Structure 1
Amino acid sequence: MGFKDRTRTAMVLAGCLAALATVPSAANATPGSGVSGTILAQGVSEGTLKLKARGKTDVVVRTITIAPGGSTGWHSHAGQVLAVVKSGTLTRTLDDCSVEVTTAGKAFVEPSGPRHRHIGSNLGSEPLVLYVTYLLPQGSPLSNDADAPPCAGK
């Protein structure tokens, strides 16, 4: 390495060190004050959660309680729904009549669109409590009633 190369390397190194010396540290961060938070529900997904929304989106957070023996009725959503089961067990029957059971402490995403109709039921003996976040096209209803699929009548 020649003199010019060593000088250039030294100047670049000195510049980098000077830049690092002027970066504010975390110790200079402004502390928060007057803020509190409450975790309403916490759940773990069985796999990767993928959420997406296009355009203006209504974001709605809601608590849903389903009494023992109760159900949501067949429906779909215009946007994605992220749900956490706070307590109880949710039994969802999907458009193809497959059944998914989600217990307390688990989370899932319901896909959007009329092809993804489903019904949520509480087959247990205690109330089922869900915390649900809806990502819906602006102005859309939280759910759209749907007919039961042909396989549900069998």
Structure 2
Amino acid sequence: MTVRVLTVALILLVLCAAMPAATAVATPPDGDAARTDLAKGTTETPISITTDGPATVVVQSLVMQPGASSGWHSHAGTELSVITSGSVSLQTATACTPVTYGAGQAVFIPAGVPHQVVNTSGAEAQVVLTYTLAVDAPVRADAPDACPT
């Protein structure tokens, strides 16, 4: 009897494996709708965004002229930014040496990390910023210089 049960199980397994997998049917877009990519960038930094409850997502466009600085500040939630043109230098309280990011690069800054962004290039820089914040939290809080010279 054990051999018979194993034989039936093996036959069922072979039959299931040979059956074609069900394919999902996609739903095509309908009506007048258009998507526009605002930014696309790559980062070497692992990204993790979690919230303890409801969240607000804020997306901003930042244009920085040569020599402009954000000043030292922090955010109550995570920041994920993409440089869309030009370049900017980022200093954080955890790494005071400025790191330059150019068009097509993404920057992830965890919540609460003081930082400043400076356009040290001779050309305009443009950045698309996305913040994930607790509901009603301010986007920005000024911070003291974390890397005095």
Measure, in 1, the Cα distance between the counterparts of 2:39 and 2:27: 29
Name segments (4+ residues, structure 1) moved above 3 Å. 11-14
CA 1:47/1:93 → structure 2, altered by over 3 Å: closer, same or farther?
closer
Q: Give the corresponding residue for 2:115.
A: 118
Corresponding residue for residue 131 of structure 1: 128
In the superposition, relative to structure 1, how do residues 5 and 133 fare at CA in structure 2: closer, same or farther (>3 Å)?
A: same
Identity %: 31
Residue aligning to 1:7:
8
Match of 2:65 among 60, 64, 67: 67
Number of residue pairs aligned between Structure 1 and Structure 2? 146
Give 1:137 deviation, angstroms: 1.2
Aligned to 1:102: 101
TM-score (norm 2): 0.84
What runs of 5+ residues in structure 1 fail to find an aligned partner? none
Q: TM-score, normalized by length of structure 1?
A: 0.82
Does residue 31 of the first structure (1) align with residue 28 of the second (2)?
A: yes
Distance 1:104 1:8, change over 3 A: closer
Q: Which runs of 5+ in 2 are unaligned?
A: none
How far 1:54 moved relative to its partner? 2.1
Question: Over aligned residue pairs, what C-alpha RMSD do you find?
Answer: 2.3
Residues 30-61 of structure 1 deviation map (CA, whole Å, 9 limit, x = unaligned)? 22223321111111112322322221111111
